[in-house]
Structure 1
Amino acid sequence: MHKTIGRDMHQIEPDALLLKVLKTGQPAARKRHLIKSVQKYVSMRMFPIWRDGAVAGAYSVFRDVTELRRLGREVERVTQVAEELTSQLDAAFSRFQMIGQDPRFRTLLTRAVTAARTDATVLIRGENGVGKEGFAKLIHQASLRRNKPMITVNCAAIPETLIESELFGYEEGSFTGARKGGKLGKFELAQGGTLFLDEIGDMPLLMQSKLLRVLQEGEIEKLGREENIPVDVRIIAATNQPLEELVAQKKFRADLYYRLNVISLAVPPLRERRNDILPLANHFLEEYNQRYGKKAVLSRNAGQQLLEHDWPGNVRQLRNCIESAVILCGGLEITPADLTLETPEAPRAVSGSGFSPPAGPLREATLQFERQLIRSALERCGGDVEQAARQLEISRRTLYRKLSDKIDTSAEFVTS
């Protein structure tokens, strides 16, 4: 300020507002004004000085707000950066159907991205259809392993006798029927990348102990090979089962549970994030309109019906519902009549009039009766094996085994 003290203001600050106050005799104020002579932003109030009815001078009271202005600009910059990052994250989340504004869900997404920056084992928990595999893909793509493979293994879909060779592979001639040249296991295929173990709760106990050893030692024992093979794989596991209860029942190893449960992500069911139902529905609507060359829109009544449904099949059920509505709607607007919102019924007993047991041994009659139950469940569920297994209260692995052993898996209603 020493540059201005004692100097003529007309020379050092010819545009000064104080000169205008001196000329007009009218008070003035500014919240933010640049004093050019000192390059400072100030908040100021200016008043005239009257003497004998004439303006004899003027004075101002000001406060330096240069730092406040700088901080304001910094806040604005950081806000724009945050908005841009949020936009980029939303775009990434959208790729994996990670759509929603529910606070709990958004927090979970943030935790997933944070966990992705490490190699820590992640256990994703939640009901069928909530999007556990989507979270696994998101973690892989946000990690440093994104340029390496992500291999998915459905532990419930592989027969118990084959799961070891599927995971670890085998050498040529290691057993009768072994493929010439041997076979790479899922761990070797995922080398340097991510191995996603879906339905980990259905993994047989013997296999659990072998998986634990791989996690501890970082190497696999390949069937028919003398030396162990080092592997560098990040493990993500998922389950819809209460692992704590399985541990208490001695159906799941406690040491493996603790080894997998380093970072736990519990995905909420769709009924607990109802504000996300319509955004998800509209996302799927756009996807299937494009796929089937349509321009369907949701009517208000249809949207309300989606909001009121409990969605036992979660996001997967919502996706299927929208796809069906897009295909079947007769006009441009999807109405409640176009929505398939049935809740799966409990398995019904086969009445005596609906099933005639064949003559012959009890075992054959039992197998025929079991076939009838499985076929009936699959038909009710439109070929959805997972839903049929849930109705029959058996695991998917058991149902797949029964499908391969007892019925024709080429039947058109059998799907994975």
Structure 2
Amino acid sequence: MEINDDFLESLPISSIITDSDGKILKVKNLSNNIINNNKNNKNNICNKNEVKRLYEDNGFKVNVQHYKIRCDNKFYHLYIIDNTKYKIDEMDIIFNCIDGIVMIVNRNRVIEKVNSAFYKLTGIHRKFFEGKSIDQLKKDEFMEESIILKVFQSKKPLSMNVKYKSGRIVTYTAIPIIAKNGVIQKVIATGRNITNLVQLQDRLAEVEKQKNKYIDRLKNLEKSLGENIVYSSDKMKQVIKMAIRAAKTDSPIFITGESGVGKEEIAKFIHENSERNNKNFITVNCAAIPSELFESELFGYEDGAFTGAKKGGRRGLFEDANGGTIFLDEIGEMSLSMQTKLLRVLQENEIKRLGGNKSIKISVRYICATNLSKKQLSNNLKFRQDLYYRLSVIPINIPPLRERREAIFPLVHVFLNRYNRKYNRKVKLDKKMMEFLHDYNWPGNIRELKNVVERIVILSENDSLSEKQFWYILQLGSKDISTKNNDTDDKIVVNGLMNLNKAHDIIDETMIQKALDKYSTVTGAAKAIGIDPSTIYRRLKKHK
């Protein structure tokens, strides 16, 4: 045997051959760093421990086998260096340091190796997976779907989420290693736990679903509310909730509240949300109809029923409202005799035209409204108690604007936008003006606020009001609105001279209108300014 390069190539792995004194003669797959370091080393390599130390000094961990060989009557030392075991150990360390799942599956669909992150991310110990068939694991329902089986079927890289029986979800990417003959040799899969992300996505999807549901509900509510009902206070929320519930029934509703709080708007809202919304909504202003005409207006009349009666007769408001809703506004102003007749209609669900004998069946929803107090309503000389109890199955009280000031800002914005569009203006109110509108007591409630905002939009010289102009416009036609004390007496300001009779007419018209705005009923307005109700009726007829 000759010690030459062919002999060295026939040796496995890395090898060193030295003479009997330890001097290196031949090397195979040996790092130049080790050779150079050995040349600088005064000590000769004399045993396998020194070879091992030489490798370790250069950062390698190896297993060294020593053989003594004889050739041409000379002795040599053969050192075979094997670092395969340590490479495997090193790979295991690296493999298990990866914080994502790494899974290796062989051609038989058996899991060869899974790193330690598998347990951490799935909650299932890897001993249940390593050495196990993917088919069996799927059969045992360890996971809902298997990405490995899908890769074996498609022979293509694939990404998907896998849910384990522990409830955790891992997103995997699996890549097949395919031999030249087209057979899958291995499948390498890497994955990360996305359980929290999926749960968050599910919650977000649910939130989005709820959001869309509430948006639809708000749109429907906005549609049903229209532009005339704006609310933000808890008190009004309760009113709207009650109105919505009441709308689903046919029970009579009795709405109370001060003048201008929006009783008619709530009545319309109830009708529009009821099953009768495709039928008529008939408003009857009980304070505006003279008592002698009330019966003919409500019940209609036959031909020749009275002097001046229309030929052929006329339908009454109850017939117009048949199938729909009749809104009896200011019902507290209805005479006691007319209340008695209305009670009979409620009991019998039928009417008779004035001058006629034929009974006409009707089906209407009753909504009544008044600004009378509970004390006034309980006065049997003012309002029949049996009628009141018939009509007030569902009582709804609308609080005055001063008790729900949080609605003032939204209302001002709504009215500003409405009248800016109507009059092609862009009027804005500054913070100080808005604060005053918020703090004012609004004895005329929403009606007064709406009128004031419309007045501001119409009369303002510029889109940005000066403070002086704001106060001037506010005081026009308002009861000392420049102060927060609504009990201040009215004062007449004379800015010039004019015909005294004409001045009397203007004062009469102004005072009557202000009284009607405040009290809403002819009777209440007449009492407040000390005149007979008939005088107001004549004045109203004259100005019409």
Which TM-score bucket, shorter chain as reference? Answer: 0.7 to 0.9
Please say if 1:313 is aligned against 2:444: yes
Please say if 1:403 is aligned against 2:539: no
Conserved? CA contact 2:121–2:193, under 8 Å: no
List aligned pairs for 1:10-409, cutoff 5 A: 10-11=104-105, 21-22=116-117, 36-37=145-146, 39=163, 42=167, 73-74=205-206, 76-95=208-227, 97-336=228-467, 337-338=469-470, 339-340=473-474, 342-343=478-479, 376-380=507-511, 385-387=516-518, 390=524, 392-393=526-527, 399=533, 401-405=534-538, 407=539, 409=541
TM-score (norm 1): 0.74
- Separation of aligned partners in 2, 1:64 and 1:408: 73
**Aligned to 2:255, what secondary structure does the other structure show?**
strand
**Aligned to 2:167, what secondary structure does the other structure show?**
strand
| Residue 164 (structure 1) shift | 0.8
- Separation of aligned partners in 2, 1:78 and 1:226: 58
Conserved? CA contact 1:117–1:143, under 8 Å: yes
- Separation of aligned partners in 1, 2:193 and 2:540: 92
| Residue 396 (structure 1) shift | 13
Conserved? CA contact 1:205–1:251, under 8 Å: yes
Mark the runs of 5 or more structure 2 residues left unpaired by the alignment.
1-101, 124-142, 147-161, 171-191, 481-487, 493-500
- Separation of aligned partners in 2, 1:299 and 1:62: 52
Q: Identify if the C-alpha distance between structure 1 residues 67 and 298 changes in structure 2 by more than 3 Å, giving closer, same or farther.
A: closer
**Aligned to 2:308, what secondary structure does the other structure show?**
coil
Conserved? CA contact 2:279–2:323, under 8 Å: yes
- Look at both structures and tell me which one has the larger radius of gyration over its CA atoms: 2
TM-score (norm 2): 0.58
| Residue 402 (structure 1) shift | 1.9
Give the superposed CA RMSD: 4.0
* Percentage of identical aligned residues: 37
| Residue 154 (structure 1) shift | 0.4
**Aligned to 1:297, what secondary structure does the other structure show?**
coil
**Aligned to 2:288, what secondary structure does the other structure show?**
coil
Q: Identify if the C-alpha distance between structure 1 residues 20 and 36 changes in structure 2 by more than 3 Å, giving closer, same or farther.
A: farther
| Residue 86 (structure 1) shift | 2.0
Q: Identify if the C-alpha distance between structure 1 residues 68 and 22 changes in structure 2 by more than 3 Å, giving closer, same or farther.
A: closer
- Separation of aligned partners in 1, 2:252 and 2:531: 24
User: What CA deviation, in whole Å up to 9, does each residue of 1:139-181 have, x standing for no partner?
Assistant: 1111111111111000011111111111001100112222111
- Separation of aligned partners in 2, 1:239 and 1:161: 21
The one-letter code of the counterpart of 1:42 is G
| Residue 67 (structure 1) shift | 9.4
Conserved? CA contact 1:220–1:231, under 8 Å: yes
| Residue 118 (structure 1) shift | 1.3
Conserved? CA contact 1:164–1:207, under 8 Å: yes
Mark the runs of 5 or more structure 1 residues left unpaired by the alignment.
1-7, 46-59, 350-367
How many pairs were matched up? 360
**Greater relative CO, 1 or 2 (CA 8 Å, sep 6+):** 1
- Separation of aligned partners in 2, 1:11 and 1:232: 79
- Separation of aligned partners in 2, 1:373 and 1:205: 35
| Residue 226 (structure 1) shift | 1.0
